[in-house]
Amino acid sequence: MDKLGQEWVSAAVDGEVDEQVLAELAADTDSHEKWRDYHMIGDAMRGELPAAINLDLSANIAAAIELEPSILVPKRVDAPEETPQELPQHKLASVVPLFKQFGQYAIAASVALVAVIGVQNYNQGGVEDAAPMPVLNTRPLIGSASPVSLQTGPVQQNQSYTNERVMEQRHRINTYIQDHMLQQRLNNSANIDDNSEPTPVPVNH
Amino acid sequence: MRFIWLALLVLVFPVSAQEELSAKAWLENMSLALKGQEFKMSLIHLQADHIRPLVYIHGMVDEHEVAFLEHLNGPPKNVVRVANTVTFIEHDQPAYSVRADRIQGVLPPAFAGSIADLESGYQFVLGGRSRLAGRPGQLVRIIPNDDNRYSYQVWLDMDTYLPLRYDMLNLEKQLLEQVLVVELIVLDDAPAILHEAYKQDWPEIMPQPQREQADNWQFKWLPQGFKILVKDNHRLIGSHEAVEYIALSDGLVNISVYVARAGETALPDELMTRNGLSLATERVGNAEVVAVGKVPAETLSRIAKSITIE
């Protein structure tokens, strides 16, 4: 390191050079030590030395920068080492996580859709059934015993049914359904199927 | 080297075996699991306007199957099964026992029976996999061969083969009934409550109501797979009306057919309740034929029309 070079660094420390010279200094690693020493000397003269002097600050910072994960910068692709077949695979690998996430959203969305449609169907089921044929509400809602809602079908419409006769009809329907459910319990075969217990169907008397 | 291959085979085989299971094999495994495993499941029984939470516990005590079903909402209502005796403990009547090999009220008893019996009316198709009650589940669809009955789908736990969800769907694929397991706990030993139930003295099995020999009713047409289970004549419990009774079953669904003297008030030709139960009536002279069951009302109507006496 010649005398000229030292002066040059010293001038840089004092801020007496232009940008281009600073850039040159940054590139010249050999002058970094000088740069540090001149700063140290300057600090000592001004009485600004810290309690503990870390002599290799710039190296520490450099090491810290080296260790820092590069978040925003994409991974360098070692193009020359790769064969053309490997290249798309590599690219795919970086794309997959995005797709995975997207897929999860898609699945979640479809589940929500199915759930919504399912619930709607479920709620509408009874209403839709009501249109073509009479509906008998055999079970009360939990907590409140809602009365049987038997809607008169086309058969009964051409006859003038009194309220009493509708009750009688409901009662007869209930006895048949109740008996059907009871028979499920009594028929002692393996293939008994009925998930319902023979609780009396609510009838308005 | 040979040992390594053998070890690999042993390690790989159980996995690949499950991969290759047919839909029928899945159902057969379920049947075995329901009969032989010890477990506790919390489940919800859904019908159109009705939600019913239940707990079902099953285990083996002294080589006997013991099961306990508890209704969690409303007045206490429990069912206990020790081997072939099922006792109903309900708030509004004294406990009574009947002879049966499954408790009704959870899943179709056919699920614990012979799956091969269902093949005459249904096909089994493997579906996708999904997560139910926190466990991976395999969907098996039970699809009827014709439009005369409803279809079913059941999700089976991939570890234990126990059912995690059961749906009954109508012909438009709308949900009629669902049993949804919320929590499944596989037990190592039968829990104390089942040991208690086994020791308890339950009421004597109710004497079977007199099965009086009925007339020889036959059907000109029945959906494929349906057979006559029982024929008798008895009186309806509510009205004490005398009826001729025929029970039909295809293994999964039961249909009751009644022949009675026509009442003063005619019953509707076809009627459907919201829980999937239908009723159809056919008047023949001064008699009426009533068919009840969890099948489309048109099927019941056709069955009611096809009855003959020999």
Q: Where are the domains of chain B?
A: 18-199, 217-309
Highest mean pLDDT out of A23-37, A88-102, B11-25, B214-228: B214-228
| The residue count for chain A | 205
Residues A8 and A77 in one domain: yes
- A117 in any annotated domain: no
User: Across chain B, where does the E strand assignment appear?
Assistant: 39-47, 50-61, 64-71, 77-82, 85-90, 93-99, 122-132, 135-144, 151-157, 163-169, 175-186, 217-219, 227-235, 242-249, 254-261, 270-273, 278-284, 287-293, 307-309
Domain around A191: 134-205
Which residues 63-92 of B have a C-beta within 8 angstroms of A?
Answer: 73-74, 77, 86, 88
- A127 in any annotated domain: no
The kind and range of the H/E element at A106 are helix A86-130
Contacts of A147 in chain B (CB under 8 A): none
pLDDT of B215 reads: 72
For chain B, say whether A162 makes contact (Cβ under 8 Å): no
- A72 in any annotated domain: yes
Mutate which: A104, A129, A163, A164, vs B, most B CBs within 10 A: A129
- A103 in any annotated domain: no
Domain count, chain A: 2
Tell me if A142 and B263 make a contact (CB, 8 A cut-off): no
**The domain spanning residue A55 has which CATH number?**
1.10.10.880
- A129 in any annotated domain: no
Question: Rounded to an integer, what distance in angstroms lies between the CA atom of residue B294 and that of residue A181?
Answer: 11
Q: Which of B174 and A26 is assigned the larger pLDDT?
A: B174
Nearest to B105 among A153, A182, A197 (CB): A197
Tell me if B88 and A133 make a contact (CB, 8 A cut-off): no
Nearest to A177 among B74, B292, B297 (CB): B292
- In which residue ranges of chain A is pLDDT below 70? 1-6, 50-59, 68-161, 187-205
- A99 in any annotated domain: no
Contacts of A187 in chain B (CB under 8 A): 229-230, 247, 254
Tell me if B254 and A192 make a contact (CB, 8 A cut-off): yes
Contacts of B274 in chain A (CB under 8 A): 125-126, 129, 135, 137-139
- A142 in any annotated domain: yes
Q: Which of B66, B67, B71 is CA-nearest to residue B44?
A: B71
pLDDT of B165 reads: 94
CATH classification number, B18-199, choose in 2.160.10.10, 3.30.420.40, 2.50.20.10, 3.20.190.10: 2.50.20.10
* Residues B185 and B39: beta-carbon distance below 8 Å: yes
Residue of B nearest to A139 (CA): B50
Contacts of A173 in chain B (CB under 8 A): 267-268, 271, 279
Q: What is the CATH number of domain B217-309?
A: 3.30.200.100
Q: What is the mean pLDDT of residues B237-241?
A: 76
Question: Rounded to an integer, what distance in angstroms lies between the CA atom of residue B140 and that of residue B128?
Answer: 8
pTM of the model: 0.62
- A168 in any annotated domain: yes
Q: What is the mean pLDDT of residues B94-122?
A: 86
Q: Which of B274, B251, B2 is CA-nearest to residue B112?
A: B251
Q: What is the mean pLDDT of residues B202-210?
A: 75
Nearest to B268 among A153, A187, A195 (CB): A153
